[in-house]
Amino acid sequence: MLDRLQPVHFIGVGGIGMSALAGILAARGYSVSGSDPRSAPVVEALKCKGVQVFHEQTAATIQAVLGNSSAKPLVVISSAVPDTNGELIEARRLGLSVVHRSDVLAALINAQPAIAVAGSHGKTTTSTLIATLLEATGQDPTAVIGGIVPAFASNGRHGNGSLLVAEADESDGSLVKFQAQLGLLTNIELDHTDHYPDLDALISTLQLFASGSGRLLANRDCPILREHFEADSWWSTQTSEGVHFAAIAREERGDGTLADYYEDGILLGSLNLPLPGRHNLSNALAAIAACRLEGVPFAALQEALSQLQPPGRRFDCRGLWRERIVVDDYAHHPSEVAATLSMARLMVSSGLSPLPRSPQRLVAVFQPHRYSRTAQFLQGFAAALTQADLVLIAPLYSAGEAPIPGISSTALAQAVRCLAPCLEVLEAQTLDQLADQIAVCSCPGDLVLAMGAGDINGLWERLGALGDRAMAQAT
């Protein structure tokens, strides 16, 4: 599908998945262009790599791309590009080849030895850790990740080594196109209910992904994986018996985990992981197992562990605001929220953390994402949020979905209050009001943990603008 003589044009090139592909193709010598109305850092980085970026998504952009080359471009879209997009309408009118971003990723995966990471939770972190370990051990991988990899300061990387590491997103089912040398499944839990009617449909899709992989590495601790999949290799953080790879925690701290590492039941040594939380131990073990299956020596991996960092928006410390520690996290499923809050609680209780200072109290700021997901998991979200000392609910982020009667931030706040009547729970009508609530209700020493997949990641900037807003209101 990919031809170096054919230009490639990405509609919405600044998207986290699109930008990685555009950057890699540009590094490999393709003529790449894209459109995006935003002037985000990732867009500016693409310009530095030679990608021509248009800021208008109209028919005129397609005409401009056509004028740059005698060859007709391949037009790439994502699931976020609607049929009403002006560029897309013009590309189809002219009969240009239009493909989904997953087709481009599949072409890269299927063209070289690849590790494709799928699963309901942890796939961005696990693929980030795999790419980081491969780079730290001299493998020089190519990487296509759904988050910013700290070791690369980018979500995409062109390497000269033989391996490619890719995050395989299950949200729209397109990962069935991938034929990786090694497929990896972190876990399965019902999500993306806008696409999957039930858990069986999600399982069936991931089974197709697994059957297309040369080998399958999977998490034995996940009961759904145990029941429905036949893996070539299993990993576990619960037992070293009956699995190929195991990491059994010896010491769990707020700033990391010390674990014993086993292969086929034999103790090989210890892992000193600088990432706290049992979920991160599982992610790191999966990454180590994948590297071991690709022949990387254990001693080299053991030494490289100190370089591991989570991807952007995964417990991402934004800084200190009025002596509060503000952290941004992508958690938007009850299991993710529960795991993130459990890790944060460990930091509070142990007095140890990777944060600038040890937090004294846990303030959970959560933005529900999609009406469908909130309706499906309302009670699960409420139960997870009860781990906090103070809960603030942001306005629900619809992601373009139509409202569902009775489903709102207020409904979630009420569900939390029913489970924990003594817990202070507030909901905000706007993000500016949310920032005001944090200023009034939080205290110095608090860990303000903002979670969600919507625009809650802009909370840090809104907190910083509080003083400006107060002055404007005063005048």
Query: 3-class SS at 159?
Result: coil
DSSP codes of every residue in 440-464: HH--TTEEEEEE-SSGGGGHHHHHH
What is the model's pLDDT at position 55? 95
Residue-wise pLDDT for 407-428, tens only, equals 999 999 999 999 999 999 999 9
Structural domain 112-307, CATH architecture: 3-Layer(aba) Sandwich (3.40)
Average pLDDT over residues 106-115: 97
Residue-wise pLDDT for 203-212, tens only, equals 999 999 999 9
Average pLDDT over residues 142-162: 96
> DSSP assignment, residue 72?
P
Query: 3-class SS at 88?
Result: helix
What is the model's pLDDT at position 467? 65
Cα–Cα distances in Å, from 6 out to 66, 97, 337?
A: 11, 11, 44
Give the separation between CA 385 and CA 369, rounded to whole angstroms: 15
287 burial level (CB within 10 Å; 0-12, 13-18, 19+): buried
**What percentage of the chain carries pLDDT values higher than 70?**
98
Question: pLDDT tier at 122 (50, 70, 90 boundaries)?
Answer: very high
Average pLDDT over residues 265-270: 98
pLDDT at 473 > cutoff 80: no
Question: What integer best gives the mean pLDDT of the chain?
Answer: 95
pLDDT at 164 > cutoff 70: yes
Structural domain 8-99, CATH architecture: 3-Layer(aba) Sandwich (3.40)
Q: What are phi and psi of 336, to 5 degrees?
A: -70, -40
What is the model's pLDDT at position 263? 98
Range with lowest mean pLDDT among 193-197, 222-226, 276-280, 458-462? 193-197
Active-site residue, from 61, 90, 124, 125: 124
Residue-wise pLDDT for 10-58, tens only, equals 999 999 999 999 999 999 999 999 999 988 889 999 999 999 999 999 9
Report the 3 state secondary structure along 215-274: EEEEECCCHHHHHHCCCCEEEECCCCCCCCEEEEEEEEECCEEEEEEEECCEEEEEEEEC
Q: What are phi and psi of 269, to 5 degrees?
A: 160, -165
pLDDT at 147 > cutoff 50: yes
What is the model's pLDDT at position 472? 47
Active-site residue, from 167, 170, 336, 427: 167
Work out the widest C-alpha separation in the chain, in whole angstroms: 71
Structural domain 316-474, CATH architecture: Alpha-Beta Complex (3.90)
pLDDT at 170 > cutoff 90: yes
**Is there a catalytic annotation at residue 124?**
yes
Are the CB atoms for 131 and 157 separated by under 8 Å?
A: yes
DSSP codes of every residue in 383-420: HHHTTSSEEEEPPPB-TTPPP-TT-SHHHHHHHHHHH-
**Is there a catalytic annotation at residue 177?**
no
Cα–Cα distances in Å, from 393 out to 139, 333, 343, 415?
A: 44, 15, 20, 11
To which residue do tokens 């949020």 refer? 385
Give the separation between CA 144 and CA 20, rounded to whole angstroms: 6
Active-site residue, from 61, 90, 123, 205: 123
Among residues 332, 354, 339, the alpha carbon closest in space to that of 450 is found at: 332
**Is there a catalytic annotation at residue 263?**
no
Give the separation between CA 263 and CA 1, rounded to whole angstroms: 40
pLDDT at 468 > cutoff 70: no
Cα–Cα distances in Å, from 454 out to 331, 372, 376?
A: 10, 14, 18
What is the model's pLDDT at position 470? 46
Q: In the structure, how many helices (H) and strands (E) does the chain have?
A: 16, 21
What is the model's pLDDT at position 206? 98
Residue-wise pLDDT for 329-386, tens only, equals 999 999 999 999 999 999 999 999 999 999 999 999 999 999 999 999 999 999 999 9
The count of other CB atoms within 10 Å of the CB of residue 138 is: 10
Structural domain boundaries in the chain: 8-99, 112-307, 316-474
